[in-house]
Structure 1
Amino acid sequence: MDIGIPKEVRDLDQRVALGTNSVAQLVASGHHVYVQTGAGTGAGFADDQYVQAGATIVYSAEEAYKRAQLVCKVSTPSLEEIDELMPEQILCTFGHLAAASKTRFQKLLDKQVTVLAYEMLRDEDGTHPLLRAMSEIAGRLVPQVAARLLESPHGRGLLLSGIPGLPPAEVCILGAGEVGFNAARAFAGLGAQVTVLDEARRLAELDRVFDVPGRIRLMYAYPDQIAKAAAFADVLVGAILRPGERTPHLVTETMVKGMRPGAIIIDVSVDQGGCVATTRPTTMRDPTYVKHGVIHYCVPNFTGLVARTASRALSNMLRPYLQRLDANTPDELRGDAELRSAMVVYRGHVVDPRLATAQGVELMSLRGDA
């Protein structure tokens, strides 16, 4: 199969979907890989390294797309990237299409491509391996972002850990999945006082894992409990994700108004619409805004801050799945349950029920589906 790796177009996003080791293994398996010049430079993969791995360097995004049967990228496609797609191509990417605008979503459908969304791919035990890799990074990265935003002169001027005689920062984490779990562990390791809110089953699992008595509090995610925790928080982290669905607003605007002046909201759920009512997407170049006196950080692709780590993690997890593909049409994906789980659009038709509901479009049933 001909695989195209274009350069990411989002400002300051230097991640790349496949590193040189993965490319070498794909080439050895008989695939042809075309890499846009500079696509991997920011993640530590030079053009000449891709050449040594057996890839062909192309000198425009147009050529990377036109040579490809399968386009492999990281971020959800922008309007200009959708313009480059051609009918019957396969697009592999983080889709997050439930939160896409109607205009961008319809334009993607009009291209009659097949979309494999990384966040939807499930393995045999029901976990989401590609999503998990990015979520682990996101969770561990959140305290680094929070620590910077707490600093003077724009933040509250707090040290996460406090010092003897002065209490640590209060951190509220909404959601105890991979992002929330990793964020809680990292914040606690830095000495912050952490409160995690989720459903009873997940809290019980965390209680068995965490061994930081008094440092991590576990609370049910009822509206009154969320409001109480938010009111005392120096940092509130939105870590709710329901793959394929828009994230519900569990933090209302009234709750935001009740937060401390200068407090910080980091809504990692922004990819799927955000779990805070006052969330709107920002960029790595202009990452924050202030609403009701609260600093909001809502960067969808913020794992791009650690482009080398994120690219290597994604590449290592993605490569085995790509090696299953060959020059056959997307119909062949139907025989592979794991790859099939990632298919949300088939030749311009929505085939995932959650996406169809979120976007209000007709669901197409593929032959062989139950």
Structure 2
Amino acid sequence: MAYNLTNTRKIASEEGMNIGILHERRNQEHRVALTPAGVFHLVKYGYQVYLESGAGQDSGWSDEQYVKAGAQLVFSAQELYGRSNLVMKVSPLELEDLPYIQEGQSIFSWQHLVMRDSKIIKTIIEKELTVIGYEIIEDLFGNRPIVTYVAEIAGYMAVITSLHYLQNETGGRAKMIAGIPGVPQGSITVLGAGLTGAAAVRAATGIGAYVVVIDKDLEKMRRLDDKYHGRISTFYANHTNIAKAVGFSDVLIGAVASHGDLAPRVVSQEMVQSMKYRAVIADLSIDQGGCVETSRPTTLADPVFVEHDVVHYCVPNMTANVSRTTSNALSNSMMRYLEAIKDLGLDKALITIPCLKNGAFFFKGRCVKEYIARRFDLIFEPLKSE
């Protein structure tokens, strides 16, 4: 059975379905899962929405705005979890969440479960949770509607942030990428020609950089080459080409897609050692372990470190630094799925709507992603369509 997301006819209704919006507090997470406009729409659609006080404040939305939109305020994470069937988060589940999670609850967030503590996986199973990851929601054609928006933001930010860390006062190599007459422009290498990589290419070409794109997908690189009329260079992704490009780059942006699994380490420590003095690496794959061997997660409060005289920027939630834009994008992209869940009920929505089915890591405590089962030595039980 296929469900048309443009069809607003109510097929079924989930009695008592309600949503809880958590106030994220860890790792400078400023984003919020739903905006006041999103809450207003969902309340009109029939949801009861609970908001933990302060959830939207870092993105410029007050509790009062959410209450006017129809949300009911609660004043602790414990109360929020206790009242909600479906918890909307931004950051992945952490150990601190576990005592509050209710049996049979559903959790929507960026999950990145391959990087999570095994205690979190154990709790998901024991409490029979349904866990949906924004990062793996995908339609039948391979499009990832939620990732698309955030990947574009991350790609632009990677270039802007890297330029900042090239400057003297931030410990960089004291170079302006654009160049001036008589002084050549700098070089930016983008590993990966997917959504994030393409956004980074757009930003990098816009500032006048010499841009190199590396990927194994020749069609993706052909499309980028056609779009920029030969103003970029494209390299096929092999060890020789990656090592060559890394060696001459002023900025290296890692945008290697891993689709929920661990990112491949395509840049070795030896390659990093070959880079120019105080060149910059922005590893955007760090939320899946990183694509550069020397990368390790950093935070917005302490975003960079220097290793082998190369500046590393490895913030998993970098788009939290433009939280209002990112929160709007996330809230907008979730509306049609939340409508469908209200119409059909979560269980039926997960087996009839490809995006939601593909986005599930766990269904009522059962692992429905093979690579997660393999990593944590679990039984793999795929979701079956009607």
TM class by smaller structure: over 0.9
Q: Which residue of 1 aligns with 2:369?
A: 352
The answer on 1:165 being equivalent to 2:165 is no
Post-superposition Cα deviations, 1:303-348, rounded to whole Å, max 9, x if no partner, equal 0010010000111001111111139864322232221111111122
Q: Report 1:265-304 matches (<5 A).
A: 265-304=281-320
CA shift in 2, pair 1:169/1:107, >3 Å = farther
Q: Which residue of 2 aligns with 1:219?
A: 235
Give the deviation of 1:37 after TM superposition: 0.8
The answer on 1:195 being equivalent to 2:212 is yes
Give the deviation of 1:9 after TM superposition: 2.1
The answer on 1:311 being equivalent to 2:327 is yes
C-alpha distance in 1 between matches for 2:228 and 2:99: 47
Task: Output the TM-score relative to the length of structure 1.
Answer: 0.95
Q: Report 1:129-144 matches (<5 A).
A: 129-144=145-160
Q: Report 1:15-26 matches (<5 A).
A: 15-26=31-42
Post-superposition Cα deviations, 1:142-163, rounded to whole Å, max 9, x if no partner, equal 1111111011131111112121
Q: Which residue of 2 aligns with 1:335?
A: 352
Which one of the candidate residues 216, 224, 229 is aligned to 1:206?
224
Give the deviation of 1:367 after TM superposition: 4.7
Provide the alpha-carbon RMSD of the alignment: 1.6
After TM superposition, the runs of 4+ consecutive aligned structure 1 residues lying more than 4 A away are 327-330
Post-superposition Cα deviations, 1:157-178, rounded to whole Å, max 9, x if no partner, equal 1112121111122111100101
Q: Given that residues 95 and 119 in structure 2 are in contact (C-alpha distance below 8 angstroms), is that contact kept between their aligned partners in structure 1? A: no
Post-superposition Cα deviations, 1:175-224, rounded to whole Å, max 9, x if no partner, equal 0101100001101101111111012222112122223x44x211111110
Give the deviation of 1:110 after TM superposition: 3.4
- Count of equivalent residues: 367
Give the deviation of 1:87 after TM superposition: 1.2
Q: Which residue of 2 aligns with 1:90?
A: 106
Q: Which amino acid aligns with 2:205?
A: A
Q: Report 1:27-66 matches (<5 A).
A: 27-66=43-82
The answer on 1:155 being equivalent to 2:172 is yes
CA shift in 2, pair 1:168/1:109, >3 Å = farther
Q: Which amino acid aligns with 1:337?
A: P
Give the deviation of 1:11 after TM superposition: 2.8
Q: Quick one: percent identity of the two aligned structures?
A: 39
Q: Which residue of 1 aligns with 2:14?
A: none
Give the deviation of 1:121 after TM superposition: 0.9
C-alpha distance in 1 between matches for 2:380 and 2:141: 26
Give the deviation of 1:365 after TM superposition: 3.4
With 63-72 and 76-85 compared, the bigger mean Cα shift is at 76-85
Q: Which residue of 2 aligns with 1:362?
A: 379
CA shift in 2, pair 1:152/1:108, >3 Å = farther
Post-superposition Cα deviations, 1:231-280, rounded to whole Å, max 9, x if no partner, equal 01111110011212111100011111111121111000011111111111
C-alpha distance in 2 between matches for 1:207 and 1:328: 44
Give the deviation of 1:19 after TM superposition: 0.4
Q: Which residue of 1 aligns with 2:7?
A: none
C-alpha distance in 2 between matches for 1:207 and 1:236: 19
Structure 2, unmatched stretches of 5+, are: 1-16
Task: Output the TM-score relative to the length of structure 2.
Answer: 0.91
Q: Given that residues 114 and 330 in structure 1 are in contact (C-alpha distance below 8 angstroms), is that contact kept between their aligned partners in structure 2? A: no
Give the deviation of 1:109 after TM superposition: 3.4
**Other structure's SS at 2:340 match:** coil
Post-superposition Cα deviations, 1:101-121, rounded to whole Å, max 9, x if no partner, equal 334433443332110111111
Q: Given that residues 279 and 296 in structure 1 are in contact (C-alpha distance below 8 angstroms), is that contact kept between their aligned partners in structure 2? A: yes
With 226-235 and 111-120 compared, the bigger mean Cα shift is at 111-120
C-alpha distance in 1 between matches for 2:304 and 2:120: 24
Q: Which residue of 1 aligns with 2:11?
A: none
CA shift in 2, pair 1:296/1:70, >3 Å = same
C-alpha distance in 2 between matches for 1:101 and 1:251: 26
C-alpha distance in 2 between matches for 1:46 and 1:67: 21
Q: Which residue of 1 aligns with 2:144?
A: 128
Q: Which amino acid aligns with 1:132?
A: T
CA shift in 2, pair 1:78/1:327, >3 Å = farther
Q: Given that residues 187 and 250 in structure 2 are in contact (C-alpha distance below 8 angstroms), is that contact kept between their aligned partners in structure 1? A: yes
C-alpha distance in 2 between matches for 1:366 and 1:185: 38
Which one of the candidate residues 4, 8, 11 is aligned to 2:27?
11
Post-superposition Cα deviations, 1:82-105, rounded to whole Å, max 9, x if no partner, equal 332111100001111123233443
